[in-house]
Structure 1
Amino acid sequence: MTLYRYRAVDPRGRRQEGQLEAAHLEDLEARLHRLGLDLIGARPGTYRRRGRGTLGRRDRILLYFHLEQLLHAGLPLWESLLEIRHGEESPALGDVVTGLIEGLEGGLTLSQAMAHHPGPFPPTEIQLIRAGELSGRLLEILRELTETLKWEDEIHAQTRRLLLYPALLAAMVLGSSGFLLIYLVPQLQSFVRHLGHELPLSTRLLFALSDLLVYHGQALALGLLGLGCLGILLSRWTPRFQDFRDRWLLRLPKIGPLLEKSLLARFARSLALLYGAGISVLEGLQACATLVGNRHVHGGIVRVGEQIAAGTSLSGAFASAHLFPPLMLRMVQMGETTGALDQALRNVAYFYDRDIREQLGRLQALLEPCLTLILGSLLGWIMVAILGPIYDAVATLGH
């Protein structure tokens, strides 16, 4: 099979571009015809992932929402995906839906086609779709996935909005500091030095910092860039460094607890969805462990699975991991006792999400005056360091 990059038109006359595997050009034309597309041109190519190889959250929301609506209206799965393919304007989602349709034509189920396509879907979502197919609750699972992803998208959007102003203010502080120290202070330095007075400590420190940035700024920038690139390479290829980095992030003041709650909220919400869909706790833990994006938390979830497989109770396994806070341990124990583990985990996710929003609001309220104070202090220091010697010289002349 050869991968072709093709250009085609749909029944509405809109131009479509994508990539599709076929034995030869005639086979490609036949495959596109089954998708309702007329081939314009094609050329062999290599597989090209869009972005990081995964569909964005909003693309997945659109896919699950439209698929649930079309299936609810009575359309077969293949026709539903075909309708989504024709109406979709996102090239990345269009390629993925094309791959799903090809999988269904090859005899795969929807979950198998999702797993077969390279990288767009997280393991938890594939597991949920598989559970929905086996239990006959696919519509309900698609609806729950849509609502959960909408909730996550809302939380992330609110977080970005909360951090936008402090980020802009921090950029303004750095930009103004660089301008003053690199351009303004050197122009005043020769004048102040020629006044003939001994310079105070604040002025000497200001001039030293300005000289460092002017004469060695490029070396400092290259050094910081090199350290950043080295950190990225170590993060990708060195497991021990990844462990150190992830533990260090969780121990950062103010930021660490927020990150930990965000990771645990995502884990609790995903496990609640899987367990509520009829997937066993062990399978759910295996799927969720790959989602958290933190090796320290990942290791704790893996240990929980190992303890449960060895015969430990659910609450005992969570407690023995020495990772989860008391609130989560109590809710897991309550869910285990009452048989409503999925609802208990949803409550944990809801509580942590609300707590994260509140703490972000407080952090924003704290950051704004702190950054303003830093900017004001920097300007005050420069004014005093520059104008102080000038004032002393004028006072001496007056005497």
Structure 2
Amino acid sequence: MPAFEYQALDQTGRKVRGVITADTEQAARRDLRRKSLAPLAVGRADERKAGSGDAASGGGENLLDRLRAKNLSPRELMLVTRQLATLIEAGLPVAEAISLVGGQHDKHHVRRALLSVRARVMEGGRLSEALTAFPGSFPPVYRALVSAGEGSGALGRVLERLSDYLEKAQAIRNRITGALIYPAVLTVVALLVVTLMMTVVVPRIAEQFTGMGMALPLLTRIMIALSEFMQIWALPLVGIMFAGGVVLGVMLQRPAVKKPFDGFVLRVPMIGGFMRTTEAARFARTMGILLDSGAVLPEALRAAQRAMSNMALASRVSEIIRDVETGRALSDAMKTSKIFPALMLHMVTAGERSGALADMFERSADQLEQEIDGSVTVGLSLLQPMIILGLGIIVVLIVLSIMLPILQLNTMFLG
């Protein structure tokens, strides 16, 4: 039975919105009228376009709805996955579990997505196929893991493992976000202070010195030139940087641009190494879950490839897939690609020999994630003093540019 998203007026004239299941749109409208609701707009919950009654509901609200984020956030996806895993492991049918989780959720876009997925499952589709209606909420690797769980008959266990993985990723994101709050505030304050000094303080003092007709020190002349430049070009430069960031973000949506850009990122010192480790950990974790769920090796490799965000590295995995499909050992193919850490290669080789490949991928992921966690901790601990040091150097240079002419004047008078 399909799910329909609606906007309607209640008995007090207040506009309400929600999701209802019915056989057809006309049946959904009849059900709404039975509930003393006057339908304004009704449409399939998994359709991205507006319903048939958009004109009646008012264009302004529809535009606002389109601008709002409709996808599940990483935290929402993690919580939904955990709840589904618990209910399915307890023996509930998939459709009923989705209905319970979606029905009790207080956020409209989450309830809308889950009830739409439930409707597709009720129509006879597989859960992994139903999730394709919301690709922004359920990424390809998520759907691949669900598909592997359905194929092996261990969907609940796979969802449990997947929720653990999402929970770890969410914990790392929360820790990084929390640790970056103070440096971000410090950076903004530092930029404001420097901008104020360069556009207000330095020009006032420069007027005094230039009026005396004295030869200014080199550092003072440089600061005055920078001050004049900032007064004229500060706002245009901010606008250009913002526009450049937007254009770059749009261009990176194109594979022809993203792939060479990702390759460039890998060559940047420190950042490239961290990116390689992060992608290797994501690849290993995905492979471990898929192989443990009964997925065949080429299928697991393709799903792990889709989980990688760096296109330059993902393209190298295509070579590994081709080698494996021609009968080559996975460890040999991974060594040839030269994109994975040596520790991971050794553990994969040992896993092939012992028949515990899934377990070795899991252990590799644990080791790499610990390494990532340590790198993040060190990087965040160094960020704050580096910002303070940079601000201190800039302030000292500005103060020196002001003090040097004063000292020069004192020397002249005393001389």
Q: Please indicate the TM-score interval, normalised by the length of the shorter structure.
A: 0.7 to 0.9
Spell out the pairing of 1:31-70 with structure 2 (5 A cutoff): 41-43=39-41, 46=49, 54-70=71-87
Q: Of 114, 119, 130, which aligns to 1:97?
A: 114
Alpha-carbon distance between aligned partners in 2 of 1:356 and 1:114, rounded to the nearest angstrom: 31
Alpha-carbon distance between aligned partners in 1 of 2:32 and 2:287, rounded to the nearest angstrom: 38
Partner of 2:382: 366
Residues 199-225 of structure 1: CA distance to partner in whole angstroms, max 9, x if unpaired? 000000000001111122233333333
Q: Of 139, 163, 167, which aligns to 2:184?
A: 167
User: Is 1:320 matched up with 2:336?
Assistant: yes
Q: TM-score, normalised by structure 1?
A: 0.88
Alpha-carbon distance between aligned partners in 2 of 1:39 and 1:164, rounded to the nearest angstrom: 46
Which amino acid letter does the alignment assign opposite residue 253 of structure 1?
Answer: P
User: Is 1:155 matched up with 2:153?
Assistant: no
Q: RMSD of aligned C-alpha atoms?
A: 2.9
Residues 282-308 of structure 1: CA distance to partner in whole angstroms, max 9, x if unpaired? 111111212211111111111111111
Cα distance change on mapping 1:223 and 1:7 into 2, 3 Å: closer
Alpha-carbon distance between aligned partners in 2 of 1:243 and 1:131, rounded to the nearest angstrom: 28
Contact preservation (8 Å) 2:278, 2:369: yes
Partner of 2:395: 379
Alpha-carbon distance between aligned partners in 2 of 1:4 and 1:71, rounded to the nearest angstrom: 25
Cα distance change on mapping 1:83 and 1:309 into 2, 3 Å: same
Partner of 1:12: none
| 1:183 CA drift (Å) | 2.0
| 1:20 CA drift (Å) | 7.5
Contact preservation (8 Å) 1:50, 1:92: no
Partner of 2:283: 267
Contact preservation (8 Å) 1:6, 1:39: no
Partner of 2:313: 297
User: Is 1:196 matched up with 2:194?
Assistant: no
Partner of 1:347: 363
Contact preservation (8 Å) 1:162, 1:361: no
Residues 205-261 of structure 1: CA distance to partner in whole angstroms, max 9, x if unpaired? 00000111112223333333343333233322361x322211222222222222221
| 1:22 CA drift (Å) | 7.6
Alpha-carbon distance between aligned partners in 2 of 1:110 and 1:59, rounded to the nearest angstrom: 18
SS in 1 for 2:41: strand
Cα distance change on mapping 1:31 and 1:257 into 2, 3 Å: farther
> What are the ranges of 5 or more consecutive residues in structure 2 without an aligned counterpart?
10-14, 44-48, 51-64
| 1:51 CA drift (Å) | 6.4
Contact preservation (8 Å) 2:74, 2:166: yes
Residues 87-134 of structure 1: CA distance to partner in whole angstroms, max 9, x if unpaired? 101222111111112112211122222234454212222222223223
Partner of 2:298: 282
Cα distance change on mapping 1:72 and 1:295 into 2, 3 Å: closer
Alpha-carbon distance between aligned partners in 1 of 2:283 and 2:226, rounded to the nearest angstrom: 46
Contact preservation (8 Å) 1:124, 1:274: no
Q: Which moved more, 1:303-312 or 1:120-129?
A: 120-129
Partner of 2:413: 397
Q: Of 117, 128, 133, which aligns to 2:145?
A: 128
Contact preservation (8 Å) 1:6, 1:20: yes
Q: Of 345, 350, 353, which aligns to 1:329?
A: 345
Partner of 2:57: none
Alpha-carbon distance between aligned partners in 2 of 1:82 and 1:227, rounded to the nearest angstrom: 44
Partner of 2:195: 178
SS in 2 for 1:198: coil
Residues 329-377 of structure 1: CA distance to partner in whole angstroms, max 9, x if unpaired? 1111111111111111111211111111212222223322222121111
Partner of 2:132: 115
| 1:192 CA drift (Å) | 2.0
Alpha-carbon distance between aligned partners in 2 of 1:107 and 1:49, rounded to the nearest angstrom: 30
Contact preservation (8 Å) 1:85, 1:94: yes
Contact preservation (8 Å) 1:29, 1:38: no
Alpha-carbon distance between aligned partners in 1 of 2:238 and 2:378, rounded to the nearest angstrom: 33
| 1:163 CA drift (Å) | 3.3
Which amino acid letter does the alignment assign opposite residue 149 of structure 1?
Answer: L
Spell out the pairing of 1:220-235 with structure 2 (5 A cutoff): 220-235=237-252
SS in 2 for 1:279: coil
Cα distance change on mapping 1:44 and 1:248 into 2, 3 Å: same
> What are the ranges of 5 or more consecutive residues in structure 1 without an aligned counterpart?
10-14
Cα distance change on mapping 1:19 and 1:83 into 2, 3 Å: closer
Partner of 1:217: 234
User: Is 1:242 matched up with 2:242?
Assistant: no
Which amino acid letter does the alignment assign opposite residue 196 of structure 2?
Answer: F
| 1:52 CA drift (Å) | 6.5
| 1:16 CA drift (Å) | 6.9
SS in 2 for 1:236: coil
Cα distance change on mapping 1:59 and 1:255 into 2, 3 Å: same
Alpha-carbon distance between aligned partners in 1 of 2:30 and 2:331, rounded to the nearest angstrom: 55
Alpha-carbon distance between aligned partners in 2 of 1:284 and 1:54, rounded to the nearest angstrom: 26
Q: Which moved more, 1:338-347 or 1:215-224?
A: 215-224
Which amino acid letter does the alignment assign opposite residue 275 of structure 2?
Answer: L
Aligned length: 390
| 1:18 CA drift (Å) | 4.3
Alpha-carbon distance between aligned partners in 1 of 2:253 and 2:320, rounded to the nearest angstrom: 25
| 1:55 CA drift (Å) | 2.4
